[in-house]
Amino acid sequence: MNKKTKHMKRILAHAVLLAASIFFIIPFIWLVSTSLKPPTQIYTWPPEWIPRPFTWRNYIDAVDYIPFFTYLRNTLIITVFSTLGAILSCPLVAYSFAKLRWKGRNLLFAITVAVMMIPGQVTMIPLFILFNKLGWVGTPLPLIVPLFFGAPFFIFLLRQFFLGLPNDLLDASRIDGAGEFRIYWNIMLPLAKPAVLAVGLFQFMNSWTDFIGPLLYLTNEHSYTLSLGLQQFQNQKGTEWGLMMAVATMMTMPVVILFFFLQKTFIQGITFTGIKG
């Protein structure tokens, strides 16, 4: 295959990806556009993509109508601590499954994979009863503490990454007298940084957009997250599409910005998890 043919195939691939991306970006553009439109322009036909004029007042009114910053603070607390729990616990468990030899390892890993196949609806009621007996219902603890004990999918993902790392590094470190935790913390974990960041981004998005979890466990309006606040806003002011789209835009933008800056590391982490194992 000559250089010209490779160049044409690369151009064709980029053209196809660009065309496909349009279908994903159009709803987001419409979301932002509607959040900036005056009420009279939202219902015009044919639809107008560019607001005339730009109505920034929608954002001010939306923030004033609901305790937006209280919901934002609650969402950040849950998201940051649950993400921290995932990136602390999951790599440690995954490293143990991938690189350490201990009795019952394969059985426990099989159970971990099997748990991934259980729908969340099956465990929803037992978990609620458990957390209720612990006195955690009405607090963010059920949305944070379980992540400090690992998540099956993230453990599986990270295990695949650790399997792709050479065992020679471990052998050399053990010969030099390094303990297992030091090998994990100083050598293996830095090498797994792309996969760990990918897991962190996954968990960040899961917690930021989670609706069912806060709906089950948060009983006090002052502890609501943005997802519950958006639903409450829709129930009370559903016909105010400009205001509702403004709230939705403010809720969506942090995830978009985070992915924009971490996309290279995210893709690298996801790609390398399938190298071996």
Look over the chain and give the mean of its residue pLDDT values, rounded to a whole number.
83
pTM recorded for the entire structure: 0.82
Cite the residue boundaries of each domain of the chain with CATH code 1.10.3720.10.
65-272
C-alpha angle 222-225-231 in degrees, rounded to nearest 5: 100
Q: What percent of the chain has pLDDT over 90?
A: 23
Q: Which fold has domain 65-272?
A: MetI-like fold (1.10.3720)
Q: Which residue has the higher pLDDT, 28 or 109?
A: 109
Q: Which residue has the higher pLDDT, 16 or 112?
A: 112
Over residues 4-33, the pLDDT tens digits come to 777 777 888 778 878 877 887 888 888 888
Confidence (pLDDT) at 277: 42
Q: How far apart are CA 115 and CA 125, in angstroms?
A: 16
| Res 93 pLDDT > 50 | yes
Q: Of 84, 82, 209, 74, whose CA–CA distance to 138 is shortest?
A: 74
Q: What is the mean pLDDT of residues 151-159?
A: 91
